[in-house]
Amino acid sequence: MVPIFSSRLIRWQKQHGRHDLPWQNTRDPYRIWLSEIMLQQTQVATVIPYYQAFLRRFPSIKKLAAAPLDEVLALWSGLGYYARGRNLHQAAQVIVAEHGGKFLRDIAAIMALPGIGRSTAAAIGVFAFGERCAILDGNVKRVFARYFGISGYPGAKEVEAQLWQQAEQLLPKKAADGNIETYTQALMDLGATLCTRSKPQCDRCPLHKDCVAYQQNRVAELPTPKPKKTLPQKEIALLMLLNHGEILLEKRVTSGIWGGLWSFPEMLVNGNAAAFCMRRYGVKTAVMQELAPLDHSFTHFKLRIYPRCLRVVSGEFLPQEQAARLVWLNLDDALAAAIPAPARKLIRSINI
């Protein structure tokens, strides 16, 4: 027997849910995995063009595993949360090296791959293999918190445990009849289209008659927001070195912000840019222009960037010991490289 909650969702999904997204109507675990990773903390409309471009370039796990990380991150550039791209590439290499390029079916084994957690592994299991697994992404947490009237920040361990318990209990009893895929997609669609964070459309929701938050007029307060925390402010200076129509990019270390991407040389805000460029890059003379600060937010801090545009007059560039991590590119090629969003914005503001 299918619980009332699940049966209502399944009926609603068949009539009103989304059925034509690029990653739907397939059992290909690679395509499903790619979509689930891209959709983490990113909206569908943003993901679609990235997903399509990624598949054109890397149509299989083997193609992805064989590609240089720079190419992968270049296609990821602008999508944000770059660790997802690095983990995707690493996981593909693991699948090829240890499993002959065939995606794993065992949920525990899927979870052991880089960048794949419990909910993502479950979604892959459901859509690729028809497994009876519960998901609990951000949208689903919101649906359950409202429907059951569960207070407390969903990211807190004890609250999340309650939500997982509900997710497991509400699963359709059988996976073989195809209901598990429809039900899982219904949860995703309900949270994304009706039970939204702001301005939810409760009157159109198939669950509103039994929803605790709706019945008790608590929709606006659930789920409980994350406890407010003042984000620390950090500052850096980025050096935009221009020479004969080309700009200098430096490969960042894999750890920290923008790990593994190409970006502008970075220095302390109160440092001497001329001396820094002479010491690090062999620039003897340059005409410097300070540009307007640029603000960029990360999950755990806010960053204020002070761009300094230096037009090189003379110098001996790319010391041998740094050549592998430095490259001069024209602006079009720089925009096509694996660069973070602020660097892309700054390049587009340059007048050669």
Question: Active-site residue numbers?
Answer: 36
Contact 335, 348 (CB under 8 A): yes
Provide the pairing of β-strand 283-290 with 302-315: antiparallel
Say how far apart CA 91 and CA 85 lie, in whole Å. 10
Tokens 């587009």 identify what position? Answer: 348
User: How does DSSP classify residue 290?
Assistant: E
Tokens 């970075």 identify what position? Answer: 266
Residue 65 sits at the vertex; the CA angle it makes with 59 and 69, to the nearest 5 degrees, is: 105
Side-chain-side CA neighbours of residue 133 (13 Å): 24
Nearest to 191 by CA among 178, 177, 206: 206
Report CA-CA distances (Å) from 253 to 78, 92, 247, 257, 260. 18, 21, 19, 9, 5
